[in-house]
């Protein structure tokens, strides 16, 4: 009996151990299952990350391509804008001063039929004033200028001071030529014995009833002290920088304040120095050279368009024209 009891206890113990082992196996399986599920989740997370990375890369590439397209479009827009600006400048100018330009001085006579004299004329300006060919004459001109209302205008190729009303006149050989306007060229267009100066001013007179309708009195300038007359106009000029056809009221301007200087001057028959290069112009070039500041010359250059910053026409052939030196006081 006792033996059967001990055997029963051993069997019960083995059953208990079997249950514990089964329980541990079950727990191990659950843990393995959880590990497998974790690995699957980790795998899915990894795949998700890879997919996200790939999507991000594709998005980045698309954004990059879009950025490149936008950059190309931007470059094209800038190029078109530049071309548009150049077209505007090209469209608004009829001529320029570029040596190799299609609208430069060598081409002026071919741009319009009415400008043919620029290339074919025999009495074109400017020229060089050489002493060896000068004839001295003692017959002075008479200038009678008056205070008059005036405006300053940016003509694109130069700055012009225009009088409105009676600003006086110059008397030449018994004919009065009323003063119309003045403008500036830099460097000078005319030269004296081969020397070109920093600037020249043209005072333009007109008599429609005269045989030679236009008279230009010219003043040459070299760098030095500021020109007082020009100083009065600097505020108006500086306010119209690169503004073609801009007009400013200058108030009452007295031409007598233009310091012409000596009574000695050169005289010859020439032409306008801009198209249409009309011939038959009486030129009077004062022998005394005045001074202008570097800043004043710079202002006049900055005010006009880029193509006219140096708005001096090259020298033209003299074609054996006589040049006179007017010296009323018997000295040359």
Question: SS3 helix, strand, coil % of the chain, rounded to 5?
Answer: 40, 30, 30
In sequence order, the β-bridge partners of residue 172 are 175
CB-based contacts of 326: which residues, under 8 Å, 6+ apart? Answer: 136, 137, 138, 139, 140, 141, 263, 264, 265, 266, 267, 284
How many C-beta atoms surround the C-beta of residue 209 within 10 A?
7
Q: Which bin fits 103, alpha (ψ -120 to 50), beta or left (φ > 0)?
A: alpha
* Sheet architecture: strand order including 128-129: 128-129, 191-192, 195-196
Which residues face 161 on adjacent strands? Answer: 152, 182
Contact 279, 271 (CB under 8 A): yes
If you ran DSSP here, which 8-state letter would residue 151 be given? Answer: E
Q: Which residues are catalytic?
A: 157
Q: Is the peptide bond before 9 cis (omega within 30 degrees of 0)?
A: no
Sign of torsion over alpha carbons 34, 35, 39, 40 = negative
Centre a 10 Å sphere on the Cβ of residue 224 and count the other Cβ atoms it contains: 13
Q: Could you check whether the bond before residue 285 is cis, i.e. omega within 30 degrees of 0?
A: no
Alpha carbons 55 and 57: distance in angstroms, whole number: 5
CA atoms of 237 and 248, how far apart (whole Å): 8
Query: Quick one: tokens of 86?
Result: 């150049």
Measured in degrees and rounded to the nearest 5, phi and psi for residue 129 equal: -90, 100
């Amino acid at each position: 009996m006792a033996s059967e009891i001990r055997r029963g206890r051993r069997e019960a113990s083995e059953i208990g151990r079997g249950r514990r082992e089964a329980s541990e196996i079950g727990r191990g399986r659950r843990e393995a299952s959880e590990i497998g599920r974790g690995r699957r989740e980790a795998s899915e997370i990894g795949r998700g990350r890879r997919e996200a990375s790939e999507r991000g890369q594709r998005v980045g590439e698309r954004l990059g391509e879009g950025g490149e397209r936008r950059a190309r479009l931007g470059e094209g827009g800038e190029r078109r804008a530049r071309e548009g600006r150049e077209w505007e400048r090209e469209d608004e100018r009829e001529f320029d001063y570029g040596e190799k330009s299609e609208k430069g001085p060598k081409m002026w006579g071919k741009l319009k039929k009415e400008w043919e004299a620029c290339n074919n004329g025999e009495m074109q300006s400017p020229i060089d004033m050489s002493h060896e060919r000068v004839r001295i004459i003692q017959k002075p001109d008479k200038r009678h200028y008056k205070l008059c209302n005036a405006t300053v205008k940016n003509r694109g190729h130069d700055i012009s001071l225009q009088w409105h009303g009676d600003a006086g006149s110059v008397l030449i050989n018994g004919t009065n030529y009323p003063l119309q306007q003045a403008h500036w060229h830099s460097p000078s267009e005319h030269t004296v014995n081969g020397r070109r100066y920093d600037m020249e001013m043209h005072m333009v007179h007109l008599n429609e009833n005269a045989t030679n309708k236009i008279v230009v009195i010219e003043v040459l300038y070299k760098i030095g002290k500021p020109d007082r007359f020009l100083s009065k106009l600097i505020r108006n000029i500086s306010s119209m920088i690169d503004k073609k056809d801009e007009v400013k009221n200058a108030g009452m301007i007295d031409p007598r304040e233009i310091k012409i200087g000596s009574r000695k001057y050169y005289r010859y028959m020439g032409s306008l120095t801009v198209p249409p290069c009309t011939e038959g112009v009486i030129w009077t070039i004062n022998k005394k050279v005045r001074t202008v500041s570097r800043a004043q010359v710079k202002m006049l250059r900055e005010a006009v368009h880029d193509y006219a910053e140096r708005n001096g026409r090259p020298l033209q052939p003299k074609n054996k024209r006589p040049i006179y030196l007017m010296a009323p006081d018997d000295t040359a």
